[in-house]
Amino acid sequence: MTRFLYLSDTHWGAGASGYTMQPKSDTQLPALITALRSWIEAHGPVDFVLHGGDMIHETSAAGITAASQHFDLSCPVHLCLGNHDLTTEDAVEQWLHTAPQFFGAAPQLDRAASSDYAITTDDCMIHVIPNQYGPTPFRWESTQDPHFLASQIEALEARITAHPDTTHLLQTHSPVHAIEPGQSGFAEPFHQPPAEFTATVTRLVEKYGIACVLGAHSHINMNKKLDGANYITVSSFVETPFEFKLFEVGGGALTMQTHNLWQHVDFAAEYNWHSTFVQGRACDRAFERLL
């Protein structure tokens, strides 16, 4: 059985700025990680923690060093770079140099540190493929045009093809599907990705039977079931109620549960009860399926 936690969008260093869906306590990240450590002690063990991106708010050596120090847990922590992690030309080099432990430098991973890598366990492979945002690879300036480089897709397909008998999960930062009006109550789909990005990923999912696609970026919990796959996103770990996912893979099943740390921190935190759709309905927060 593989057990891992999935959290995202910690935006360390954002200050007063930044997109939020619920009140944020990003300056309390150290306290939240302490609470997460206690949760792992009580409910673990877990094999690793996967961070879905936007670990920091802007790329800087100081920010990466701080994130590296904060996310020093009793288990490995892996990162899928998000747009806010990629705000300088040399962002990937900075991350790999300062925090290689997040990117495949650990022995259980299948290659040396790289922005794109796979986490391999006895039960599954999680392919971490950060999507692109604009014309310059691995650089976010202002555009939000999620896509993959041809070389990223090629490497992913080669890796999946070489391991046909395991369960494959795909991790990227931008959501592949919109939040439906049935969840949000809005008139239109929310955070609608470009149709081409949705088509690219759903084609890969169908072709290779990928069981689950993990996303982030929207700061909203989502679980969309399509063609036998679950497309999920997670709310921001530093926004009330400080949620994360527990994934369990093995014994012929894949399960996801959503947990929170609100009752496990001692700082005051507000919640906007007019936006409970961010946490999602029961069907957005958990699933259990056979493999």
Residues that bind Fe ion (CB under 5 A): 54, 82-83, 217
Cβ proximity to Fe ion, 63 vs 109, nearer residue: 63
DSSP string, 186-214: -SS-BSPPPHHHHHHHHHHHHHHT--EEE
CB of 13 to Fe ion, least distance (A): 14
- Measured from the CB atom, the residue of 217 and 285 that comes closer to Fe ion is 217
Distance (Å) of CA 5 to CA 10, 40, 89, 144, 227: 14, 9, 30, 27, 25
Closer CB to Fe ion, 13 or 82, in the complex: 82
Question: What is the phi/psi pair of residue 127, to 5°?
Answer: -90, 115
Nearest approach, Cβ of residue 121 and Fe ion (Å): 26
Closer Cβ to Fe ion, 22 or 83, answer by number: 83
Specify the residue, 87 or 166, whose C-beta has the smaller distance to Fe ion.
87
The least CB distance from residue 220 to Fe ion, in Å, is 12
For residue 253, the minimal CB distance to Fe ion (Å) is 30
Least gap, CB of 173 to Fe ion (angstroms): 6
Amino acid at 261: L
Q: Least distance to Fe ion from the beta carbon of 148, Å?
A: 16
Identify whether the C-beta of residue 222 lies closer than 8 Å to the C-beta of residue 231.
Answer: yes
- Cα angle 219, 220, 224 (rounded to 5 degrees) comes to 135
Whether residue 45 has a cis bond before it, omega within 30° of 0: yes
R_g of the chain, CA atoms, integer Å: 17
- Pick the closer one to Fe ion by CB: 76 or 146: 146
In 3D space, the residue among 256, 262, 273 whose CA is nearest the CA of residue 237 turns out to be 262
The least distance separating Fe ion from the CB of residue 290, rounded to whole angstroms, comes to 32
3-state DSSP call for residue 104?
A: coil
The DSSP bridge partners found for residue 49 are 5, 77
Q: Output phi, psi for 213, to 5 deg.
A: -115, 120
Residue nearest Fe ion by beta-carbon distance = 217
